[in-house]
Amino acid sequence: MSPKSRKIAILGFRAVGKSSLAIQFVEDQFVDSYDPTIENSKYPFEKVVHYRGQEFHTQLIDTAGQDEYFMIPQSYTVGVHGYILVYSVTSKKSFEVVKIIHEKLLDQIGGGNKVPLVLVGNKTDLHLQRVIPSEAGRKLAGEWSASFVESSAKQNEEVDVIFQRVLQEIEKQHGTQDDGGCVLL
């Protein structure tokens, strides 16, 4: 089968670890310094992955952190196949903001369609600073019919799983059809 291209946007409040997750996934490294993303995307993060015997060319859009007042620009949604919504398990604010981002995202792309989505609670290595229990994240993802993963970009825990899950969510909709093909239900 020919490779399929999949564009994935990573959204979430500031400093939750969006860039760190993207860098860990694509470059297998963690850089422990805070360098806020200021543009849409610093540079295209791309990686070829194999999932269920199929080759996927993934392209990640690493966005600058959103807050509750943010309007989601079209560049974050046009041509995008799936979304990773990130909060930090150490930040209540980021958990509140991820709910607002989800609402705005559905408004932007039309809530009637099911959106391939993975909710991620990052920074699980910071055990003592955790304020969002796993159960709260799992419950929220359940309400959204989304996949749920808790990760540590720092310790490279569950990072690959996030991207496998988002491909899985996308495949649920695109089926095994041609690139961009829609599912006939």
Ligand X SMILES: Nc1nc2c(ncn2[C@@H]2O[C@H](COP(=O)(O)OP(=O)(O)OP(=O)(O)O)[C@@H](O)[C@H]2O)c(=O)[nH]1
Task: Compute the least distance from the CB of residue 172 to ligand X, in Å.
Answer: 26
Q: Tokens for 118?
A: 């993975």
Binding test (CB under 6 A) with ligand X, winner from 6, 8, 11, 19: 19
Task: Compute the least distance from the CB of residue 53 to ligand X, in Å.
Answer: 30
| 14 touching ligand X, by CB under 6 A | yes
Binding test (CB under 6 A) with ligand X, winner from 8, 16, 84, 141: 16
Binding test (CB under 6 A) with ligand X, winner from 32, 48, 69, 127: 32
| 17 touching ligand X, by CB under 6 A | yes
| 153 touching ligand X, by CB under 6 A | yes
Of 62 and 171, which CB lies nearer to ligand X in the complex structure?
62
Quick one: which segment of 29-37, 46-54, 71-79, 138-146 binds ligand X (CB under 6 A)? 29-37
Is the four-CA dihedral 98, 174, 44, 41 of positive or negative sign? negative
Considering only residues 40 through 99, tell me which ones interact with ligand X, judged by CB under 6 A: 64-65
| 154 touching ligand X, by CB under 6 A | yes
Considering only residues 93 through 152, tell me which ones interact with ligand X, judged by CB under 6 A: 122-123, 125-126, 152
6, 170 contact by CB (below 8 A): yes
Where along the sequence are the contacts to ligand X (CB under 6 A)? 12, 14-20, 32-37, 64-65, 122-123, 125-126, 152-154
